[in-house]
Chain A
Amino acid sequence: MKKQIALIALLAFALMQLNVGCKQGQRQEATDLLHDTHDPEGLKMSETMVKEIISSVPNPVEMASVLQRNNVVYSQQLLNPSGNIDNYNTNFQRAINLGVYGTDLIYMNIYDRTVATLRYLTNIRELASDLRLEQFFDFNTLNRLSESSKNIDSVLFITNSGFDKMTRYLINQDRSNIAVLISAGTWIESLYIATHAPTTPENKELINKRIGEQKKVLDNLMLLMNAYEHNQGFDELLKDMRNLKNEFDQVVISYVYAEPSVIEQDGSLVVVDNSRSIVDISDETVQRIAEAVAQIRYSIIE
């Protein structure tokens, strides 16, 4: 009897393994070896610096929140079509487009477009699985929550905290090149959406300023990517980003520092920030930034 139970258990285990193997085999194997070729010896930057700079890439929630709060109209046409996932056969493409689709998902959620999110969730699951990162997203819960717009905050939390935990994991596992690509993908997609979203005379100036402020982020991102330029695919991306940087060089940012004050309100401390940043950016510069980022994004998603 005991032998029979052991045999059944062994058989069930073998079947489970086979099932997992089949699921993993549904998508094509990566045609590059990005995650295996990362050479920490060749890295020109300490892991602490990598962590710090990745952390300085803004979360896509920031820009999407700015757009939504300033009544910039939602546009589904701006998103990377979900069907493009079939084009991504290298780990480089999968990592950077994981960032792109993640940003699209956040953009949709912030604008309460929950119905369309399912295909994007599926894409994120597939790309994360290809990169052995699916453990950071509870897809069953996400699918269930996405059925109602009442759950948007929870969906945003699960998605965002998943990306957050995944980045920490990748850096700790010496796979920071993947983390850098995911961050680059999120930033490029955020900037693409911001520069192509339909603005009005009322919100255009403010949105342009937020776009101009990305100059600092680009500087940091390029610093980070330079450290990985020996990795497959990074050199091409860096070349395109240098063109984008040329356009951002026309933006002038100055800061006026002043002592902040703090008041207590309903048990919270509320900071009254008296400092401000002044962003000098022309419409022509915004237009050229929009064109440059569109070119980079096209080379990533197609």
Chain B
Amino acid sequence: MKKYFLLIGLIFLVLSGQRAFSQCGETLVDICHGRLENARFIKSWPVQLPARARGETLPQVSFKLPLTSGNTYKIFACNADEYPGEVIISIRNQNDDLVVTSYVVEQNRHIPVIMFPVSMSGIYTFSFYFEDGREGCAVGVVSVAE
């Protein structure tokens, strides 16, 4: 009988441990909060994408957000530790011109924060995908710098 209790206890510990260390989803928004510093939170997007399948295009997801002229936006993302993918953010204006991306291809490196002093109010498109099409989970955060 004791063995059963031990087994059930062990299963419970493993399951609760998994939950405690799982960052993916809304939990990641709260974890990522520390990187706001003095900026004021505006919007977050939890993003979870599968690995790119052979012959398929890069999985990505896009969201629209209005940005106001005169505000400087601090934009960043946090990756969930339990997934291999590192997220890349790209921002396009309402003319669909690429404004900026968080990955510098020539140097093969990610930039942790984008500062965007907006001079053209409008709806901007924020796209998220993972480097080399790896499976990933992240949260993108947009805030207004003071």
Task: Report which A residues bind B (CB closer than 8 A).
Answer: 52, 55-59, 61-63, 65-66, 69-70, 110, 153, 156-157, 160-161, 164-165, 206, 209-210, 213, 216-217, 255-257, 259-260, 262, 264-265, 267-277, 279
Residues of B with C-beta under 8 A to A209: 69
**Is B116 located at the chain interface by the 8 A CB criterion?**
yes
Contact across chains for A61 and B114 when beta carbons are under 8 A apart: no
For chain B, the count of residues having a C-beta within 8 Å of the partner chain is: 41
Known: A52-B63, A55-B63, A273-B99. A61 touches B120 (CB 8 A): no
Known: A62-B144, A257-B93. A273 touches B120 (CB 8 A): yes
Interface residues of A, dominant DSSP: mixed
Q: What are 20 A-B contacts defined by CB distance under 8 Å?
A: A52-B63, A58-B66, A62-B42, A65-B40, A110-B40, A157-B33, A160-B41, A161-B41, A210-B121, A264-B111, A268-B115, A269-B100, A269-B102, A269-B115, A271-B100, A273-B118, A273-B119, A273-B120, A275-B93, A275-B119
Task: Report which B residues bind A (CB closer than 8 A).
Answer: 26, 29-30, 33, 36, 38, 40-44, 63-66, 68-71, 93-95, 97, 99-100, 102, 111-123, 144, 146
Q: Smallest distance from the beta carbon of A256 to chain B beta carbons, Å? A: 8
Q: Smallest distance from the beta carbon of A31 to chain B beta carbons, Å? A: 33
Residues of A with C-beta under 8 A to B43: 55, 59, 164
In-complex Cβ contact of A52 among B64, B93, B115 (8 A): B64
Q: Smallest distance from the beta carbon of B129 to chain A beta carbons, Å? A: 17
Contact across chains for B70 and A164 when beta carbons are under 8 A apart: no
Contact across chains for A56 and B66 when beta carbons are under 8 A apart: yes
Q: Smallest distance from the beta carbon of B103 to chain A beta carbons, Å? A: 10
Contact across chains for A269 and B111 when beta carbons are under 8 A apart: yes
Which 10 A-B pairs give the minimum distances between C-beta atoms?
A268-B113, A275-B120, A213-B121, A271-B116, A59-B42, A277-B120, A270-B115, A157-B41, A273-B119, A269-B111
Contact across chains for B121 and A277 when beta carbons are under 8 A apart: yes
Q: Smallest distance from the beta carbon of B40 to chain A beta carbons, Å? A: 5
Q: How far is it, in angstroms, between the C-alpha of A62 and the C-alpha of B144 when the chains are bound? A: 7
Contact across chains for B95 and A257 when beta carbons are under 8 A apart: yes
Q: How far is it, in angstroms, between the C-alpha of A165 and the C-alpha of B28 when the chains are bound? A: 12
Q: Which residue of B lies closest to A51 (CB)?
A: B63
Contact across chains for B115 and A66 when beta carbons are under 8 A apart: no
Known: A56-B65, A210-B68, A268-B113. A164 touches B44 (CB 8 A): yes
In-complex Cβ contact of A165 among B29, B38, B119 (8 A): B29
Residues of B with C-beta under 8 A to A160: 40-42
Q: How far is it, in angstroms, between the C-alpha of A89 and the C-alpha of B68 when the chains are bound? A: 35
Beyond A59-B42, A268-B112, list 12 extra A-B contacts (CB 8 Å): A55-B63, A55-B65, A61-B40, A62-B144, A65-B71, A65-B146, A153-B38, A216-B122, A259-B97, A270-B115, A276-B119, A279-B121
Contact across chains for B112 and A161 when beta carbons are under 8 A apart: no
Residues of A with C-beta under 8 A to B42: 59, 61-62, 160
Q: Smallest distance from the beta carbon of B36 to chain A beta carbons, Å? A: 7
Residues of B with C-beta under 8 A to A269: 100, 102, 111, 113-115
